[in-house]
């Protein structure tokens, strides 16, 4: 057990300690528990629901939680005495975490849970706190800010578009630093974490849809995932992920509102049998319908059922909301009698011309529209570049991962602004 009385000269990084601090699944069983002292019942719940970072900040500097400000837990601050307590050492921190008692013998605030950790887990957490400052500065070099980027294929021109967008958005250095794009290897295997560590990046930038298996590895290493080029679900941890595109949940809700306007009776929601994003869209639409008591309950139908029986149900109105993959939609629109469909442009891509020829009326949403503006590859890269540059300019010379992410959240389009463009 490292009985440190001061910050170690070479901070130690610990994957398990990071996981405990950020609230991810740990590599060291058993699963840690948080004991809620403030409830008066000593109720135990999974520790990830009360991650250290939620109150103390991902950088450990401390943060406000309601009317209470959680203190810094950086090792150099913990090991320094204050007017309120004596200095912590490793044994003192262990007692605070397990028993809720500080080095001066005072009981910690009741909002601070206790944590039932094993000795290896405790060592990993203390090791991580010793290296948290160093981790926050990974990718912040004296002359560069390093951001990871990944091409979807050899023909993917987005990295070139991103380079050009940054060139004309930030022609001068930002506090003496240039923005450096670091090519990443998207393979997920036993060496993935080592490759990501060795890349030494602040965050990843505009990862393609094909990279989603990489995302959990980024989260495990505390590397933010910025502006992925795919639709997010809508429930991703905001500390890990920032998007520019409308989320599946936003699109599902907006689609229901648009389709309901033409339903003239119960709306049919037709959903894919196999495509998980489509099923999430449908779930969001159905949830939205439940919040609108003036609407009849929607008629839910699988696309396989709709294809076998293309004539609309006698309970359904003339308008159907469709979430499915392009091949499924092509099959449906090829045999269905003329009808009005509401859906996504990308999902209707194969069927669009044939659907119009078959006298279907289409109202389609483009989730790639940002603030009401249709964006192509170059346009998306431009918006990403603008957000990155503004965030770095407002973060100052002493930028860290956490300060950069906080600045980004202030500089990306508000979720209250239009994010889905509709075309009839």
pLDDT digits (tens, 9 = 90+) for 287-333: 999 999 998 889 899 999 988 887 766 555 678 999 999 999 999 98
Question: Is the distance from CB of 28 to CB of 118 less than 8 angstroms?
Answer: yes
Q: Which two tokens stand for residue 244?
A: 């520019």
| Same domain? 21 vs 128 | yes
Q: By the 8 A CB rule, do 244 and 227 touch?
A: yes
CA distance 30 to 178: 44
Q: Residue 78 sits in which domain range?
A: 15-136
**In this structure, are 73 and 96 located in the same domain?**
yes
Determine the 3-state secondary structure of 145 from DSSP.
Answer: strand
CB atoms inside a 10 Å sphere around CB 230: 16
* Integer Cα distance of 310 and 200 in angstroms: 54
What local confidence, expressed as pLDDT, does residue 4 receive? 33
Nearest to 332 by CA among 317, 319, 348, 344: 348
Residue 374, classed as helix, strand or coil, is strand
Alpha carbon distance 308, 336 (integer Å) = 10
Cβ count near 314 (within 10 Å): 6
Residues 39 and 85 in one domain: yes
R_g of the chain computed on alpha carbons: 25
Classify strands 268-271 and 299-302 as parallel, antiparallel or unpaired.
parallel
Residue 404 counted as domain residue:
yes
pLDDT at 3: 34
3-class secondary structure, 168: helix
Q: Is there a single domain that holds both residue 27 and residue 123?
A: yes
Is residue 8 in a domain?
no
Q: Specify whether 176 is located in the same domain as 320.
A: no
> What element of type H or E holds 200?
none
Handedness of CA 218, 220, 226, 232 (dihedral sign): positive
Residue environment code for 119-155, b if the CB has 16+ CB neighbours within 10 A, otherwise e: eebbbbbbbbbbbbbebbebbbeeebbbbbbbbbeee
In a domain, 63, yes or no: yes
Instruction: Please report the sign of the dihedral spanned by the C-alpha atoms of residue 324, residue 326, residue 331, residue 332.
Output: positive
| Residue where one domain finishes, among candidates 136, 169, 189 | 136
The CATH number given to whatever domain includes residue 329 is: 3.40.50.2300
149 and 174 both lie in a single domain? yes
Domain co-membership, 22 together with 126: yes
Strand partners, 182: 148
SS3 7: coil
Are the C-beta atoms of 53 and 24 separated by less than 8 Å?
A: no
The whole-number pLDDT of residue 6 equals: 37
The encoded tokens of residue 273 equal 């049998």
Which CA distances in Å does 349 have to 181, 256, 317? Answer: 32, 20, 24
**pLDDT in the model for residue 26:** 67
Hunting for tokens 């400052």 — which residue is that? 133
Domains in the chain, number: 3
Q: Distance between CA 271 and CA 302 in Å, rounded?
A: 5
If asked whether residues 355 and 319 sit together in one domain, one would say yes
Instruction: Provide the residue-wise pLDDT of the chain in tens; the chain has 424 residues.
Output: 333 333 333 333 478 889 889 888 766 667 777 777 665 556 777 777 888 888 898 998 987 766 778 889 988 899 999 888 899 998 999 899 888 899 999 988 888 888 888 888 888 888 999 899 999 999 999 999 999 999 888 889 999 999 999 999 998 899 999 999 999 999 999 999 999 999 999 999 999 988 999 999 999 899 999 999 988 998 888 778 999 888 899 999 999 998 888 767 788 999 999 999 999 999 999 999 999 999 888 989 999 998 888 776 655 567 899 999 999 999 998 888 888 899 999 899 999 998 988 889 999 988 877 766 667 889 899 999 999 999 999 999 999 999 999 999 887 765 444 457 777 6
Same domain membership, residue 322 and residue 252: yes
The pLDDT of residue 29: 67
Classify residue 3: in a domain, yes or no: no
């Amino acid at each position: 057990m490292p009985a440190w009385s001061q910050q170690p000269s070479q901070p130690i990084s610990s994957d398990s300690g990071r996981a405990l601090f950020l609230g991810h699944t740990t590599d060291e069983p058993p699963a840690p528990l948080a004991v809620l002292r403030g409830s008066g019942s000593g109720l135990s719940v999974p520790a990830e629901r009360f991650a250290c970072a939620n109150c103390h900040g991902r950088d450990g500097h401390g943060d406000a939680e309601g009317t209470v400000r959680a203190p810094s837990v950086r090792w150099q601050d913990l090991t320094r005495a204050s007017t309120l307590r004596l200095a912590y050492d490793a044994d003192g921190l262990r007692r605070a975490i397990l028993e809720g008692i500080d080095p001066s013998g005072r009981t910690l605030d009741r909002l601070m849970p206790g944590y039932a950790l094993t000795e290896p887990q405790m060592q990993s957490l203390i090791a991580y706190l010793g290296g948290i400052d160093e981790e926050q500065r990974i990718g912040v070099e004296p002359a560069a800010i390093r951001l990871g980027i990944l091409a979807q294929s050899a023909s993917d021109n987005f990295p070139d578009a991103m380079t050009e967008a940054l060139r004309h958005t930030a022609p001068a250095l930002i506090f003496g630093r240039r923005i450096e794009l670091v090519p990443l290897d998207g393979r997920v295997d036993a060496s993935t974490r080592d490759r990501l560590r060795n890349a030494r990046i602040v965050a990843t930038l505009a990862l393609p849809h094909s990279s989603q298996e990489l995302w959990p590895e980024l989260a495990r290493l505390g590397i933010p995932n910025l502006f992925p080029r795919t639709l997010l679900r809508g429930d991703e941890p905001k500390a890990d992920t920032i998007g520019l595109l409308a989320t599946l949940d936003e699109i599902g809700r907006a689609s229901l509102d648009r389709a309901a306007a033409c339903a003239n009776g119960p709306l049919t929601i037709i959903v894919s049998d196999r495509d998980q994003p489509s099923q999430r869209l449908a779930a969001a639409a159905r949830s939205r319908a439940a919040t609108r008591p003036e609407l009849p309950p929607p008629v839910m139908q699988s696309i396989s059922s709709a294809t076998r029986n293309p004539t609309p149900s006698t309970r359904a109105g003339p308008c159907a909301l469709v979430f499915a993959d392009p091949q499924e939609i092509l099959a449906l629109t090829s045999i269905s009698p003329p009808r009005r469909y509401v859906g996504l442009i990308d999902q209707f891509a194969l069927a669009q011309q044939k659907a119009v020829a078959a006298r279907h009326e289409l109202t389609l949403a483009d989730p790639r529209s940002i603030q009401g503006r249709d964006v192509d590859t170059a346009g998306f890269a431009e918006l990403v570049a603008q957000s990155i540059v503004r965030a770095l300019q407002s973060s100052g010379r002493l930028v860290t991962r956490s300060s950069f992410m906080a600045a980004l959240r202030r500089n990306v389009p508000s979720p209250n602004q239009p994010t889905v463009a509709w075309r009839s």
